[in-house]
């Protein structure tokens, strides 16, 4: 079966809300990006259930 690509109606960079995983030595890893804050909050709760000792933060990155 061939791989099908879905055309998105929004550009990939149009997701200003991000969940970042706080790592050691003041580093961070972007775990996911979202269109709105509510989706980011909901996903953060799911991540906390599976990784209770990890520290996640939600950040807003304004479009360039």
pLDDT digits (tens, 9 = 90+) for 13-44: 688 999 999 999 999 999 999 999 999 999 99
- Are 63 and 14 contacting, i.e. CB atoms less than 8 angstroms apart? yes
pTM score, two decimals? 0.74
To 5 degrees, how large is the angle CA 51–CA 18–CA 29? 55
CA separation for the pair 43, 47 (Å, rounded): 6
Check pLDDT > 50 for residue 8: no
Number of neighbours of residue 39 by Cβ within 10 angstroms: 15
Percent of the chain with pLDDT strictly greater than 90:
69
pLDDT, mean of residues 2-8 = 47
β 17-22/28-34 pair status: antiparallel
Structure tokens at 21: 């995983």
pLDDT at residue 62 in the model: 85
């Amino acid at each position: 079966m061939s791989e099908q690509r879905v055309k998105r109606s929004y550009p990939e960079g149009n997701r200003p809300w991000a969940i970042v995983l706080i790592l050691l030595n003041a580093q961070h890893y972007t775990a996911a990006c979202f269109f709105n804050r509510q989706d980011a909050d909901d996903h953060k709760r799911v991540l906390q259930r599976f990784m209770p000792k990890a520290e996640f933060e939600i950040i807003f990155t304004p479009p360039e």
